[in-house]
Structure 1
Amino acid sequence: MDISPDKQNIDSVFSNTVYYIDFYQRDYKWTAEPVQRLLDDIYYQFGEAYQKHLDLDPGKETVTAYYPWYYLNTYVTNVIDGRVYVVDGQQRLTTLTLILIKLHHMAKTYESKTAPWLENKVAGYSGVERNFWMNHVRFKSVLDGLFEGEDPGLIQTSGGITAVNMVSNYLTIDQWLDKCIDSQHKLETFVFYFLSRLVLINLAVEQTDVPMVFEVINDRGVRLRPYEILKGKLLGQIDKIELDKGNYNEIWERQTSKVNAYRDNEIDAFFRSWLKARFVLSRKEGQRFDGDYHREMFKSDMNQVLDLEHNSIAVKSFLAGTFRYYSNLYARVWDGAQKLNDDYPCVFYNNLNDLDTQFMLILSSCRLDDPEETQKIALVSRQLDRFFTLLQLQNSYDSNQVITELFLVARGIRDVSLEEIAPVFEKHLRHILEQRRSGAVSESFQWGYFRSASIVSLNKRFIRYYFARIDQFIANGMKVSPKHPIQDLVSRRGEKTGFHVEHILSNNQFNLDAFGGDDERFDAERNRLGGILLLKGKDNISSSNEVYVEKLKTYAGTLYWNETLRSDTYKSKLDFDAFRKRYGLDFHELSKFGPDELDYRHRLLFDLSSVIWGQD
């Protein structure tokens, strides 16, 4: 490895070298805080010395003799085909450019002879073309606007976060320098200090060493995200000409932006899900990717599979094929998680229950460019919803056990055909049920275990989700629109606009007597799902202690499941009659509500659940 250190002041750094932003570099992400800190650090020693030497004329000799030098850290470059690329240090060099632009404007305002010198530190000229030494090609218009003195508020920043931060940080610099420098003498002294006494070390490295140097530097400085380091380790293997010709950097940026559109740095979650989906056999194996997965990818065992170490051909294939396809698939699942998609509605439902494991499972089931992708998204997400719901309804859900089992499901459905997926879920669902019951299981959903399903053992979000799905199923059967979007039923919890649990059996003496005056039995029975409804907040509060016949009035115009208690639901409803007959569902009105009626409603819920979450 060859590293060539070179000590330079600002006057030397920005003199005749155009610096290109390498693909390793992030956007310009510095905000006001690091900019302010840099300005404070630079000015501190200058201010101390300036107070002692107010009577001296500005000049290089004066500043060199009486002002201490200040170390601004290191920046790393490498040269490819005559171009100098900044591997590390873009944030600082860009900020220094913004400071130079402001100093240039101040010099013109004070009619200082340093103005041409400062202009040459910002940019060079080829004919009439201005070339900024910090060559932000995509954001040249922003730098042009700032350099020309345009109103920063009118400069177009829609190009991205780099443009936004350039303008915002320039305003910070503008206000800071205007406050601290209030005379031509002080300005010119500061210019000589800034250009002559601020020192950086340039490390020029060979192209083959760039990924390693990049990672080490950033491990010891502002830590990059794993995907940012992975980008350098992959793209650093590709020749610059091939990199441009194959648009591999553009592929990386496009796919990363697609995934990160849903959540900041979501691309790291993508890589972890993809690695677990495609390469691990168990939850324990998958835990290796929870941290610095970018390092795990290049360890010997993983490199035997991925073959991405010192293999530019494999890297190019990975970027154009594997990375492109699976990141698109991941983004597609994310989109389905945010808004209901008729092709795979359970992706949305799983998101309501925070079942992020669906990403790993779907990525596992789909082969590269899988022609059955849509069907697999639908089937895997439905099977996960069924898996989760049936365990909840039978008091057999343990999050730790379920996650462990789902890693085995992911292994079992990896690259299999569509018809092989459901049996894998069924096998592992029954395995959990057998462990919970210490015996063989003939069916994955049994009345004996549902009979005691109660709000006491279920979390409130799932209870709302369960009744939301019941109501949606009834609405579809009646060929009417749901009364409320399912996400509102699940997520809204406000006192007035939220949906809350309603006990059909109020806690009063009349109802207690119906259960033989047995307090324990009464509490246990009234909490069973058959004795529960969802009501909007104010309705729930107003009906809390009414007798049943009065509650029936309250249930009018609420959810369809609630209304099936009422007689008017069954009058001249042809679509509802056809729905009942189609599924053999014993819906009928209830003029009174006691132990037998509660048992009937609970059994009806079992029948509904068997249809909704039954095996295809």
Structure 2
Amino acid sequence: MADSPIPGQGVTVQQLFKNNTFALDYYQREYTWTRDEVRTLIEDLSHRFMTQWDPLHEREQVDDYAPYFLGPFVYHEHGGRTFLVDGQQRITTLHLLLIYLRQLLADQEEDVDVSAVEELIYTARHGKRNFAVDASEEPARAQLLNALVKDWNGLTGFLLPDDSHVSVRNLHDRSREIDEDFPEILRGEALVFFVEWLLSRVCLVGIRALDQENGREIFVSMNDRGLRPSPVDLLKGHLFQQLNQNARAELGKAWADMLARLSAAGADAHEANTPSTYVRSFLLAQYARFDELSQDAVEIERAFHEWVLSNKAHLRLDHPAGARELITRLTEVAKRYCTALRASREFRPELAAVFFNGHNGIDNQFTLLLAIASPEDPDRIFVEKCAMVATFLDLVYVRRCVNNLPVQRRDLDEVINGLIPVLRKCRTTDDIATILGREIALLEHDFRELKSFGLRANNRRLVRYLLARMTAHVQRECGGGYEEADYLQGPLNYEIEHIWADHFERYKPLVKTGANFDYWRNRLGALLILPKSVNASFRDDPYEQKIEHYRAQNRLAASLHPKSRERNPQFTKYLKAAGLDKAFHPCPMFGMQEIEHRQELYQRLCEEIWNPRKLGFTLPKIPPSHEQVVRRRTRAHYGIELVDLITAGLMPPGAKIFRKLKGDTYFATVEESGVIRLDTGEPFPSLSAAGAAISRTKACAGWDVWRIEHDGATVPLKNLRNEAIRLGLSDARS
């Protein structure tokens, strides 16, 4: 084949970033990728990797893993610099992901060399970092990237300048969300393998333009002329082909109105590709089959227009009126979707739970909300149904979180996909209240584990959410105050306040060790939520001084003060009505006992806020049996679990395991269900999560660091796991 005057070359991610600095030309748009697009990229990469990884593999075997193609990018070179013409979104996201992976590798306590990743992120000269995706002309972008490289955890205290570009604000938001969406399975021993695969086996094709002008022409050609039709366009073509001329004219206007409405709602909610997202959710919610043999969900996610073509009989498209019925329903339900989408970003009291789920990144809530959306319902009825379903998801999310269970999209999809078929049949709000009440009764986890819950490296967003909900609830019950949205996203920028200042020496007589100090200081009962400006003004003060400041703040913070009930009749009335008079006792001093009492108070508040009956759900009169609840348990998605070792007799239930860190030894008990319970009382579903909680990091190679006494020797749990694999337990599970 003859050489092209515009050449292309395949490169790995490592080759892409090594010794390269990418700049942007004047015609390039801002960095606009949404959370969903970033999450989809991470899920695609992790899924391809996990289909190949085996815990028994050696690292060099990664060289034999199948490659993954990420698509083309276009660039031109000038003055020793590489200017991106097309591909900015993917390359910027990859750069951000590399910074995060560097943090995770550094968190692993084993001897992991981060230099191979670090050299792809930036080069250092004269004490300054020069980033691979050039930030030299945007000071705010450089500040953000430097903050992320220094300590990803420190992003919480990073404040963007008010005049920051859209790109910088999006980078800031995506960096926060990557931490929440990165798969739990890749935070353990698979992490090192995944990074090597990403660098050496994930590929792109670079197309080099001749010069800047040629680059601009290519950019215009790729983004303006001859664009491929979207899946929504293709679906329209399939459906409208079956209509007569009059129906095409009539429904064509409804289709155009739908697209305009969706685009406007998407712009208001800062969401891209809203029409495609809606159609995908609509088909999943109203037509997909979710039995064990069905692949509908996978096929709709992959290419919903092709799924429609392949399922004409199921969708009644083989019936003359079928296309009209589907188009009419699709365009009408879109109005409901726009209502929910806007409510997920703009607080409406009657749809508060939709906003809470949006804040917590539960974007797959829309599939469940559309399952109960009917064009025949008045707006008021839809809002009532929508609020109830969203409230259910919020309750499930919070209960899972306080029990340290994963709450990523795939975990909640299991709940959502199981509910869609039964919710479709519900005609009234009472029907929904009964169905979801039964589901709540079958939930295995409640708020009892909150007694040991606290702030960790990977749950700050959740802790802030819990504190905001409790603060707003108490404030409202005492006669008014801000809505929850004001604490979560309001102009006062509320943040977590540690009641104990970060001064170990003040509390050493109580806690003895630095590790014990960190544990007690970060207990939920030792935390409040305050405006950032207030928090910053006295965070280092002793408690005796802080308590006077707390008295002037929200009612939950003020309740610490001995005089908090004086001339506060609404507060005392609320305490008596809620049965919290003793739980809200004041704290003139604040030691370990007071933290325990406060922890009990917070548990009571959560049980009150998320009380199913008060939320409107109809619980069954006869509680489900233990056997019914156990049957609902789900298992991890990959590999051997501790419960498998117990079942195989390789480990007894109640076994003690331990790990060492910085000269200290930490113990845990493996319960019969496979839950790892630390000596502090905290339960964790995986060894990596339990290990990361102890080291206060985001990642931990749990099977490597946890050890057990076995056959008279101390061995890593990895040895028992590998023995189970060799015995064929992993094959039996699959």
TM over 0.5: yes
1:476-535 CA distances to partner (integer Å, 9 max, x unpaired)? 1011222xx534532479xxx533322111233565245342433322122111001123
- Give the Cα–Cα distance (whole angstroms) in 1 for the partners of residues 534 and 414 of structure 2: 42
Match of 1:237 in 2: 242
Contact 1:396 1:432 in 2 (8 A): no
Match of 1:375 in 2: 384
Tell me the secondary structure at the aligned position of residue 501 of structure 1: strand
- Give the Cα–Cα distance (whole angstroms) in 1 for the partners of residues 247 and 484 of structure 2: 50
Structure 1 position 538, deviation (Å): 3.4
Match of 1:296 in 2: 307
Change (3 A) 1:402 1:334: closer
Match of 1:489 in 2: 487
Change (3 A) 1:411 1:239: closer
Match of 1:478 in 2: 478
Match of 1:527 in 2: 522
Structure 1 position 432, deviation (Å): 6.7
TM-score if structure 1 supplies the norm length? 0.57
Match of 1:255 in 2: 258
1:298-334 CA distances to partner (integer Å, 9 max, x unpaired)? 10xx21221225x5522223333x1233111111111
- Residues 199-598 of structure 1 correspond to what in structure 2 (within 5 A)? 222-244=227-249, 247-263=250-266, 264-278=272-286, 279-281=288-290, 285-299=296-310, 302-308=311-317, 312-320=320-328, 322-370=329-377, 372-399=381-408, 400-416=410-426, 417-422=428-433, 424-425=435-436, 433=444, 444-447=445-448, 449-456=449-456, 459-482=459-482, 486-491=484-489, 498-509=493-504, 511-513=506-508, 515-585=510-580, 586-598=583-595
Contact 2:290 2:417 in 1 (8 A): yes
1:120-153 CA distances to partner (integer Å, 9 max, x unpaired)? xxxxxxxxxxxxxxxxxxxxxxxxxxxxxxxxxx
| Counterpart residue identity of residue 611, structure 2 | G
- Give the Cα–Cα distance (whole angstroms) in 2 for the partners of residues 305 and 531 of structure 1: 56
Would you tell me which structure has more helix in proportion to its own residues? Answer: 1
- Give the Cα–Cα distance (whole angstroms) in 1 for the partners of residues 504 and 456 of structure 2: 22
Stretches of structure 1 that go unaligned for 5 or more consecutive residues are 1-31, 34-217, 434-443
Match of 1:8 in 2: none
| Counterpart residue identity of residue 227, structure 2 | V
Match of 1:144 in 2: none
Structure 1 position 591, deviation (Å): 0.7
- Give the Cα–Cα distance (whole angstroms) in 1 for the partners of residues 456 and 504 of structure 2: 22
Match of 1:605 in 2: 602
- Give the Cα–Cα distance (whole angstroms) in 2 for the partners of residues 368 and 242 of structure 1: 20
Contact 1:388 1:397 in 2 (8 A): no
| Counterpart residue identity of residue 359, structure 1 | F
Structure 1 position 284, deviation (Å): 5.7
Tell me the secondary structure at the aligned position of residue 489 of structure 1: helix
1:550-585 CA distances to partner (integer Å, 9 max, x unpaired)? 111232433332122123431121221221122112
Change (3 A) 1:533 1:473: same
1:203-250 CA distances to partner (integer Å, 9 max, x unpaired)? xxxxxxxxxxxxxxx9x9521111112222222332223433xx2111
Match of 1:441 in 2: none
Tell me the secondary structure at the aligned position of residue 335 of structure 1: helix
- Give the Cα–Cα distance (whole angstroms) in 2 for the partners of residues 269 and 354 of structure 1: 15
Contact 2:282 2:330 in 1 (8 A): no
- Give the Cα–Cα distance (whole angstroms) in 1 for the partners of residues 348 and 490 of structure 2: 21
| Counterpart residue identity of residue 386, structure 1 | L
Contact 2:500 2:521 in 1 (8 A): yes
Contact 1:514 1:595 in 2 (8 A): no
Tell me the secondary structure at the aligned position of residue 302 of structure 2: coil
Structure 1 position 549, deviation (Å): 0.8
Stretches of structure 2 that go unaligned for 5 or more consecutive residues are 1-26, 29-222, 267-271, 614-734
- Give the Cα–Cα distance (whole angstroms) in 2 for the partners of residues 313 and 405 of structure 1: 34
| Counterpart residue identity of residue 237, structure 1 | Q
| Counterpart residue identity of residue 414, structure 2 | T
Contact 1:505 1:531 in 2 (8 A): yes
Tell me the secondary structure at the aligned position of residue 344 of structure 1: helix
- Residues 80-91 of structure 1 correspond to what in structure 2 (within 5 A)? none
Tell me the secondary structure at the aligned position of residue 314 of structure 2: helix
Structure 1 position 377, deviation (Å): 0.6
Tell me the secondary structure at the aligned position of residue 600 of structure 1: helix
Tell me the secondary structure at the aligned position of residue 253 of structure 2: helix
Contact 1:281 1:411 in 2 (8 A): yes
Structure 1 position 429, deviation (Å): 6.0
Q: How many residues align?
A: 379
Change (3 A) 1:411 1:551: same
Structure 1 position 428, deviation (Å): 5.4
Change (3 A) 1:521 1:408: same
Tell me the secondary structure at the aligned position of residue 534 of structure 1: strand
- Give the Cα–Cα distance (whole angstroms) in 2 for the partners of residues 297 and 405 of structure 1: 25
Q: Percent identity, please.
A: 21
- Give the Cα–Cα distance (whole angstroms) in 2 for the partners of residues 378 and 398 of structure 1: 20
- Give the Cα–Cα distance (whole angstroms) in 2 for the partners of residues 286 and 601 of structure 1: 44
- Give the Cα–Cα distance (whole angstroms) in 2 for the partners of residues 345 and 498 of structure 1: 19
1:187-212 CA distances to partner (integer Å, 9 max, x unpaired)? xxxxxxxxxxxxxxxxxxxxxxxxxx
Contact 2:278 2:334 in 1 (8 A): yes
Tell me the secondary structure at the aligned position of residue 567 of structure 2: coil
Contact 2:399 2:447 in 1 (8 A): no
Change (3 A) 1:396 1:431: farther
Change (3 A) 1:480 1:568: farther
| Counterpart residue identity of residue 445, structure 1 | D
TM-score if structure 2 supplies the norm length? 0.48
1:260-308 CA distances to partner (integer Å, 9 max, x unpaired)? 2122431111111111112231696412111321111110xx2122122
Match of 1:169 in 2: none
| Counterpart residue identity of residue 460, structure 2 | K
| Counterpart residue identity of residue 351, structure 1 | G
Structure 1 position 450, deviation (Å): 1.1
